[in-house]
A and B are shown apart, each in its own frame.
Chain A
């Protein structure tokens, strides 16, 4: 049994849950008390990274450690794409999951982390099957849609989840293993394992733009196994209320009557951005293909 399989084992324990972005231990406690199954420790939520500009990097270890001390649920933290040193530091801190994230400014435009060499489980974003397969081949124990982080707009997450599902369906009936491997730039062995498994070999969660219980329910309907919520909670008018509501909405994603109860009187959600108003270079999802 490899470390990698144990790491996928942890990813599966998170299914049916909500992972929340938090920037301090107070927020982490709110997340835990609202039913988050894990928190993502970072210095700024994606909406603020977007508005602040500049280079976004791994958080201060002090912040990550403070957050870890304040909760008992698993703690995740982000490093820049391909930034092996940041990843090694997070591994040394002993976070439960490393998110190699396009939300931070990429450190390497050619190579992602050699994730099989990292003991701690890693999660990566993907927009399409090719990206998903390459990240698994590199050793990601968990995938998530990229969506468009920090926008409060679910449209890109929907696009990515649908595309991965439809391309995966085609792959499962693919006869020509070697051409599929070439097309997606991954090993033939991985293509064979995916076909044998009749699906991806790691869970696939939704992320990027989820702001309301209805958004979370939509992503679960499309086949997400759990949901990451970034700016959607702590950029809303009433974070504890919204946090609890999104946790409940994942639990009851296919029960419209319950979703009505859950969504009633939550106050203003985060404002959100129209994706079409973003310039190409402002789209975080273009990073790390």
Chain B
């Protein structure tokens, strides 16, 4: 089946996701209205301001369609916050959990997918923290620790078969590892 990926717009770093999808040769479009979601095989919820995005998506009907969407969804940063809100029985997200912009950071991490180990490079920008309340359906693909602290934090995870959450931005450094894995699903 040919893939058509929607990027929920317009507020956020839609263009960086678009650049990755264009470079991989996947058909994609930025979607604004609820009706634009028809025919999409995949959906990406980009980073941005989650309060702004939700407000706009509710007005355009996109939010209601995102909740109903039954194909794979990837949320990065603010996008992960939205997925956590929709799947609140299994996961929650704490906004700006690692501090303000001065505390934003870059990481290179292991990325495990389909028995392969790869490197994922990504920015964490005013990043949220993903907390798991129901471990059953969760698969952690990439994690990290911070200097001087052993606590393991989630960078990328899958919830069930369809929901992908990333607290970081590989698209911001042009890394397509996560997007390639997501588009195999």
- Write the residues of chain A forming the contact surface with B, with a CB cutoff of 8 angstroms: 1, 5-7, 9-10, 12-17, 32, 35-38, 72-74, 91, 94, 96-97, 119-121, 247-248, 250-252
Contacts and interface: CB of A to CB of B under 8 A. Distances in A.
12 contacts: A6-B125, A16-B14, A16-B48, A17-B48, A35-B56, A37-B49, A72-B51, A72-B95, A73-B52, A96-B126, A121-B101, A250-B10
A35 B12 CA distance: 13
Nearest to A97: B101
A48 to B, nearest CB: 26
B173 A1 contact: yes
B109 interface: no
Shortest 7 CB-CB distances between A and B: which pairs? Answer: A1-B106, A16-B10, A37-B49, A16-B11, A12-B13, A35-B55, A96-B101
- Which range holds the interface residue count of chain B? 20 to 34
B65 interface: no
B6 interface: no
Given A10-B125, A12-B16, A248-B59, A72 B96 contact: yes
Given A6-B123, A10-B104, A37 B13 contact: no
B49 A38 contact: yes
B56 A1 contact: no
B100 interface: yes
Contacts, number: 100
With a 10 A CB-CB cut-off, give which of A9, A72, A247 has the most chain B CB atoms.
A9
Given A7-B104, A119-B102, 16 more contacts: A1-B173, A6-B101, A6-B105, A10-B101, A12-B15, A13-B13, A15-B11, A16-B10, A17-B52, A35-B55, A73-B49, A74-B49, A247-B56, A248-B59, A250-B11, A251-B56
Interface string B47-86: 1110110011001100000000000000001100000000
Nearest to B123: A9
Contacts of B100: 94, 96
A120 B102 contact: yes
Contacts of A250: 10-11
A273 B9 CA distance: 34
Contacts of A7: 101, 104
A119 B102 CA distance: 7
Given A10-B125, A13-B125, A251 B15 contact: no
Contacts of B104: 6-7, 9-10
A97 B126 CA distance: 13
B147 to A, nearest CB: 15
Interface string B93-129: 0011000111011100000000000000001011000
Nearest to B47: A13
B106 A16 contact: no
Nearest to A121: B101
B183 interface: no
A36 B48 CA distance: 11
A289 B127 CA distance: 35
A217 to B, nearest CB: 12
Contacts of B12: 13, 15-17
A251 B106 contact: no
A1 B49 contact: no
B37 interface: no
B140 interface: no
Contacts of A32: 51
Nearest to B103: A94
B10 A37 contact: no
Contacts of A12: 13, 15-16, 172
A36 B123 contact: no
Given A9-B172, A38-B49, A15 B14 contact: yes
Contacts of B14: 15-16
A73 B55 CA distance: 13
A4 to B, nearest CB: 11
A74 B48 contact: no
B138 interface: no
Contacts of A13: 12-13, 47-49, 77-78, 125-126
A5 B173 CA distance: 9
A36 B49 CA distance: 9
